[in-house]
Structure 1
Amino acid sequence: MLNVSRRLFLGGLTTACALSARASDYPRAPIKIILPYPAGGTGDNLFRLLGNQVEKQTSISFTVLNTAGASGNIGTLNVVRSAPDGYTLLCAALNNFVTNQYLTPLQFDPLRDLVPIVRLGNGPVVFFSNPKVPAKTLGEFIALAKREPGRLNYASTGIGTTTHLHVELLKQVSGIDIQHVPYPGAPQIMPDLMRNEVQLFAGSLSVAAGLLDSGAVTALAVAWPERISGYPNIPTTAEAGIRDFIAANWFAVAAPKNTANEIIDLLNTEFVRAMRSSGMRERYIQLGYIPDLSSPSELISSFQTEANQWEGIVKRLGIAAGKL
C-alpha cells in the first residue's frame, strides 16, 4: 500500500506529466479570445489585428468573441470559469482587471484567478472638449470651471468606468466642480460633445482622432509624460500645470489560472513577435496605443501596483460600491 506522501508525490507527478503532454502539442484547435466589450471598439480592432498577424506567422488560429456586459465582468467571469488549457483567453483592460473589483462585488479576483500573458499597449488618456468652449488648453478649462462652478458637464461611458474615474481624479487634483453625465458608450457621447451638450470627455485618442482632424472637437491635453506621436500639438497635463497626472487605458491578454507555463510562454513569444512585425506598431499607434511588450512576470508586479493605487483612489473619490 502506498503511504500518503508517496501517493501525493505520484499524483502530482502524473498531473505534471499530463500538463506537459498537453502543452507539448498545443495548440490543436482554434483559440478563443473573449472580448468583454461591444464590437467595433478600440479593443476589438487591436485584438483582431493581433490575431490576424499571429495567424500569418504561425499555424495558430484565433476567434475574437464579444461578450459584453457589466463593465466587462460577464466576459471576464466566463474566462475565469474556463478550463486552463490555453484555448480561452481574455482581453484584459484597466477596468475588468483592476478597478472593477473596488466598485462592485465580484465572483472572482482578477489578480488571483487570471494569469497575464502580455500587455499590448497603453492608450494615453486625452481630454477632449468642444471648440465653442472658451478654453483651448486644460489649464484654461480648469480656470473656466473655477469661475463657473457646477455649470460645465463631462461625459463618461458609465459610473465606475475609466472615463469616469479619470475625470473624477482630475476634479480632485484641480479642485473644479463639473457635473457628471453617464452614457452607454463613446458612440453616444461624441455627437453630444460636438453639439456642446457636454464640454469634456476623457478617452483614448482613437475615439475621436477623425473628429480632431476635422476640427469638430478639440484636445485640451494628454495625460502622458510626453506629447504623443502623430499629434504633437496636444500638450501634456504637466504643461497644463498638473504635475504627475499620468493616465492611460491599456489592453492585455490573460488566461485562467493554472494554465501551463509552457503555454503562457509560447503565447507571449508569438504575441511579442506579432507586435514587432512590420507595420503593427504603426497601426497600434494610429489607434492611439503605444506598444508595451511586458513579460508575464513584469505584468504581475505592475498590475498589483496599479491595483493598490486604484483601490486608494476609489476610496478617496468616495464612489460607492455596487454601481456596475
Structure 2
Amino acid sequence: MEIAPQEVDVLNKRVLVTGGSGFLGSHLCEQLLAQGSEVLCVDNFFTGRRQNITHLLENKSFELLRHDITFPLYVEVDEVYNLACPASPVHYQFDPVQTTKTSVMGAINMLGLAKRLKIKILQASTSEVYGDPEIHPQPESYRGNVNPIGPRACYDEGKRCAETLFFDYYRQHNVKIKVIRIFNTYGPRMHPNDGRVVSNFIVQALRNQNITIYGDGRQTRSFCYVDDLIHGMIAMMRSDDALTGPVNLGNPSEFTIRELAEKVIALTNSRSSIDYRPLPQDDPMQRKPIIDLAQQKLGWSPTIHLDEGLIKTIDYFESLLKTY
C-alpha cells in the first residue's frame, strides 16, 4: 500500500497495538511505522515472539511494553488496535479460561482506555464467530452456528462477547469503534507449532513428514496473505467513523484442505504423503467470506494469489527451520 507524502503528517499518531509481537501484530506494527506512526507494542508473550519484532527495537518510533491486557493499562495514545488473543486451537485450548478472559476482560480494559481518551479502537474479531456455518459463503449479517460449550467455545464465544462489548460501548458511551472479522490468514512469522493448517503443512512438507489432514480433506478454507490483511485492517481504521463494522476481511478464493496439501507438497518438492485423521469436534466444514462490504466501503480486495503467498511463506519457514 503506497502512501502519498502529504498524508504522512495526518498519520503521525501514537498507536497502541495489543498482541503486537504476534504474527499479525508484528506485521501491523511494521506497516504503521513505515507509514509515519509511533507504535506502542503491548504483548504478554504467551504466543507472541520477541524475534518477530526484534528488527523494530532500534526504531525510535517503536516502544515495547510487556503487559497482559486482562489487567488495566494506563497509557496515552491516539488509536488502539486490539489484536491480543491466542488465535490457533493449540494455543487457545491450552488455557481456555485465560483465552476467554483475554477476549472479554481485555476488550473491557481496552474499551475503557478508548473511552477515557476519546479515541478510535479497532477489534480484531474472527470468522470463528460464524462457527460451523449453515450459510455459505458467510456475509456479515449471518449470526453464526457456534457450540457455546464445546472445546473451541473459549475462543469463538470470547470473540463474540468482545463484539457485543464493542457495540455496547459504542451505543452507551459513544466510543468510536471498528470491528473486523478476520478469515484464515497466513504468511511469514506464523508460529511453526501453532497447529494451523498452512504452517502445519509447510513444516511437515519441509521435513518430509506425512502431512496430517483431519477429516477427508474436502472441507474448505479461503486463505488471505498477511500483507493483504494488514492493508485491509489499516483501511478499516482510517475509514469514516460511521463505518463501525463488522466487516469481513479475507480472501474469497476457496480451496479444499486436500488441494492446499497438494500445493504445499508440489511447491516444496517434498516426499511427504498424506495422513488422514478424525476431524476434531466443531471444526468448520466450510469457511469463505463475502467481502462486498470491504470492497465497497474500503476499496479493499486481496491481491496476492495463494501460490505466490505460499512461496513467500515456505521461504520463511525454510530459513526458520535451519535455526531449530
Q: What TM-score results when the alignment is normalised by the length of structure 1?
A: 0.30
Q: Indicate the structure (1 or 2) with the bigger Cα radius of gyration.
A: 1
More helix by share: 1
